Structure 1
Amino acid sequence: MSPQWEKRRKRVFEIIEVGTKYDYPSRAYDLFNAFCILLNLTTSIMYTFHDLKYKYGELLVTLDEATVALFFVDYILRVWTAKYLYPQLSQPLAIRKYVLSFTGVVDLLCFLPHYLPIFFPSGAVAFRMLRIIRIFRLFRINSYYDSLNVIGEVIAGKKQQLMSSVFIILMLMLGSSLCMYSLEHEAQPEVFQNAFSGIWWAASTLLTVGYGDIYPVTTLGKMFGIFITFLGVGMVAIPTGIISAGFVDQYSRIKRISEYGQESDIHFIRLPLSEQDEWTDHTIHQLHLPDRIIVAAIQREYKILVPRGNMMLRAGDVLILGAESFHDPKERIKLKELVLQRSHPWIGERIRDLNISRHSIVVLVKRQKKVLIPNGKMILREGDVVIIYTQAHMSDAEDIDL
């Protein structure tokens, strides 16, 4: 396959996946996809009303067929671009992984039940029931938010406790059903016919649903029912408390991460590359950065790229470099930032002619939007921001901590 064709396929992948706020075609596709999902669900609901079906039946069927066709095209595009979703796998393995994944199965069942009755008319009713799976496509909207992710993390983190509480509830439900059968069978043989006939009563009582279609009539049965009702309130509160505690822990962890991030010992700088920079047209591996400096990310146009050793840097790329902040308890180094306002004595002077201590060093000069490496012949101008390392006191300069 030609490089141009591969480039187009990669661009299709970027569009159909959840895009960044700078990738407007991808964002537009995401919104259009969400709109189609909601429109399809709306038409499915409206079609169940007899009056609406009679008046707008043809329109609803047309909208349903159009949205299902779009789901089919979306699925084909996702299969075609699966190699970019799982770049570590070969194309056949990437396609298989997507097709067998939860999202892949949901995407498939969004359109397949609509077309299966054409080949298997006898199963039309069963296939129609599978259409409800389309609602799971709404989980794609969650990619913009973290709310459902937090719920998933809480349930996954507390799954052992939740399974234990559910097991206790099931055992209590079974035990109460057996007890109620023993107490009520003779008085209500048509209601409590066998040991499992009280399962519905136990579920409605323990889970505090309280439908009231099955209830005890004997004195002992009523007393036991009161006891089970009180016990059911506590049993239902167990998984609720576990999930609530999980939410508190999760949000506390997120808050701690946020606080620690502000106190991090790693600082990041933004470094744009131009045609004249030596790093342009070199791979990251060829930069030979010190061990304690890393390329954290690369911004290329509207994309944020994960850096790899063989990635070629281009003019216009913005490198995000990370390094440990300076910390030495014996000697604290400070830089001073000095803005050259009008009538400042340094304006028009060469750096080598400045009246500063021989222990002072001009580290760099910021002129408008450019960062300049100073040399002795550089003439300072009004508005320049001069970064100086000096231990001398300068009343019109601000300290910069490293």
Structure 2
Amino acid sequence: MRHYVVFWGALSAMNVYRQRIMEILSKGDPDDTVSRVCDIFLSILIILNLVAVCLESVDSINLQYHSALMVFEWFSVTVFLVEYLLRIWSIAADDSARGATEWGRRGSYVFSFTGLIDLAAILPSILPLIMGGVDLRWLRVLRLLRLLKMSHYSSALEDLGSAIYEERRSFAATLYLLAIALFLSSSMMYLAESDVQPEHFQSIPQTMWWSLITLTTVGYGDVYPITAIGKFIGALTALMGVCTVALLTGIVASAFSNQMARREAIFEAEINAAMSDGIITTDEKLHIEALRARFNIPEEHAKTILGLLSEKKDPDTPL
């Protein structure tokens, strides 16, 4: 019986530690100092890694400080490896994670976008130990993927993906128009310029390079039409590019704006629900603050919303 009690006591303590580690490694709560310090430390380490990778590409710096850069690299890899393993272990305590079982939650993290990025931050330094013939230049570039580890502390990539998904039909329609413009301009330019510039407009696929660059930018200037009809087609291609790029930009900007408006509406609804009984409890305040942080609503903006709703509800409502 004694061993049974000791076992369950140890298991309970482990669950508490696992829960705490998960809280520390998650995006820091403003009131959780340890979690905030952990976030800041890892963010600074990621930025310093990017600086170190860039400096390594300079031969003179790499020759002079190679040993120091390698020590810093192995220190960073050790930290990222420990962080990765702790995330796999502690994610089992997250009830909001996908998966009904502990191992299911761990598997969902390992194969998620952030899990794969965390793994990619470690592999470039481990692969040379396993595969000695790996091109170090490629590994150096792969180490730049550590920048994506910032997704743990910023929802920018998630917001972009969500915005594009919400407007996927409009986005697909605009890409369809861009594809039509690409094929039309490249085929017409091929007919107009292939005889006078066979080295640049040898085929329609080769001409597509010029067409794509002209549609999305103003062109590199290394390849350009010289015939009158070719210049006319080039001008039309540039105009079509302005229209399609403007459409894509407008769709993404509108999606971001709509997404923020929906989040503010949800935030206001939560505040209204909390104020329905005339007072906002401590638990309700914590929930509202967590929602504000998840939706990336600025603190001053949130206070303004709270104040306006409070005045509209009842000027004397205690907060």
Q: TM-score, normalised by structure 2?
A: 0.78
Aligned partners of 1:206 and 1:228 also within 8 Å: yes
Query: Is 1:33 the equivalent of 2:14?
Result: no
Distance in 1 between residues matched to 2:28 and 2:214, nearest whole Å: 48
Query: Is 1:117 the equivalent of 2:128?
Result: yes
Q: Which residue of 2 aligns with 1:216?
A: 225
Query: Is 1:19 the equivalent of 2:28?
Result: yes
Distance in 2 between residues matched to 1:58 and 1:106, nearest whole Å: 27
Q: Cα gap change, 1:260/1:19 in structure 2, threshold over 3 Å: closer, same or farther?
A: closer
Deviation at 1:118, TM superposition (A): 0.8
Q: Which residue of 1 aligns with 2:69?
A: 60
Q: Which residue of 1 aligns with 2:277?
A: 267
Deviation at 1:270, TM superposition (A): 5.5
What secondary structure, in the 3-state scheme, does the structure 1 residue paired with 2:27 have?
Answer: coil
Aligned partners of 2:194 and 2:202 also within 8 Å: yes
Q: Cα gap change, 1:202/1:22 in structure 2, threshold over 3 Å: closer, same or farther?
A: same
Deviation at 1:206, TM superposition (A): 1.1
Aligned partners of 2:53 and 2:144 also within 8 Å: no
Q: Cα gap change, 1:109/1:228 in structure 2, threshold over 3 Å: closer, same or farther?
A: same
- What is the aligned residue count? 281
Aligned partners of 1:16 and 1:26 also within 8 Å: yes
Q: Which has the higher helix share?
A: 2
Aligned partners of 1:44 and 1:64 also within 8 Å: no
Q: Any idea what the Cα deviations from partners look like across 1:340-396, whole Å, max 9, x if unmatched? A: xxxxxxxxxxxxxxxxxxxxxxxxxxxxxxxxxxxxxxxxxxxxxxxxxxxxxxxxx
Q: Any idea what the Cα deviations from partners look like across 1:144-169, whole Å, max 9, x if unmatched? A: xxx66554442221122112211211
Distance in 1 between residues matched to 2:251 and 2:134, nearest whole Å: 43
Higher relative CO (CA 8 A, sep ≥ 6), structure 1 or 2?
2
Q: Which runs of 5+ in 2 are unaligned?
A: 1-9, 291-313
What secondary structure, in the 3-state scheme, does the structure 2 residue paired with 1:196 have?
Answer: helix
Q: TM-score, normalised by structure 1?
A: 0.63
What secondary structure, in the 3-state scheme, does the structure 2 residue paired with 1:123 have?
Answer: coil
Deviation at 1:258, TM superposition (A): 5.7
Deviation at 1:268, TM superposition (A): 5.6
Q: Over aligned residue pairs, what C-alpha RMSD do you find?
A: 3.0
Q: Any idea what the Cα deviations from partners look like across 1:238-286, whole Å, max 9, x if unmatched? A: 11121232234334444555666666672364568xxxxxxxxxxxxxx
Query: Is 1:73 the equivalent of 2:82?
Result: yes
Aligned partners of 2:28 and 2:36 also within 8 Å: yes
Q: Pairwise mapping of residues 210-249 of structure 1 onto structure 2 (< 5 A)?
A: 210-249=219-258
Q: Which residue of 1 aligns with 2:54?
A: 45
Deviation at 1:213, TM superposition (A): 1.1
Distance in 2 between residues matched to 1:233 and 1:103, nearest whole Å: 35
Q: Any idea what the Cα deviations from partners look like across 1:151-197, whole Å, max 9, x if unmatched? A: 44422211221122112112211221111111111111122111211
Identity of aligned residues (%): 30
Aligned partners of 1:110 and 1:131 also within 8 Å: yes
Q: Cα gap change, 1:155/1:52 in structure 2, threshold over 3 Å: closer, same or farther?
A: same
Aligned partners of 1:83 and 1:89 also within 8 Å: no
Q: Which residue of 2 aligns with 1:166?
A: 175
Distance in 1 between residues matched to 2:119 and 2:317, nearest whole Å: 57
From 83, 89, 100, the equivalent of 1:89 is: 100
Q: Cα gap change, 1:220/1:236 in structure 2, threshold over 3 Å: closer, same or farther?
A: same
What secondary structure, in the 3-state scheme, does the structure 2 residue paired with 1:121 have?
Answer: coil
* Structure 2 letter corresponding to 1:228: T
Q: Which has the higher strand share?
A: 1
Aligned partners of 1:14 and 1:26 also within 8 Å: yes
From 154, 164, 182, the equivalent of 2:163 is: 154
Deviation at 1:34, TM superposition (A): 0.9
* Structure 2 letter corresponding to 1:237: A
Deviation at 1:110, TM superposition (A): 0.4
Q: Cα gap change, 1:400/1:62 in structure 2, threshold over 3 Å: closer, same or farther?
A: closer
Deviation at 1:224, TM superposition (A): 1.4
Q: Cα gap change, 1:93/1:18 in structure 2, threshold over 3 Å: closer, same or farther?
A: same
Q: Which residue of 2 aligns with 1:287?
A: none
Distance in 2 between residues matched to 1:208 and 1:271, nearest whole Å: 54
Query: Is 1:178 the equivalent of 2:190?
Result: no
Q: Which runs of 5+ in 1 are unaligned?
A: 273-295, 305-333, 335-397
Distance in 1 between residues matched to 2:101 and 2:271, nearest whole Å: 40
Distance in 1 between residues matched to 2:102 and 2:71, nearest whole Å: 35
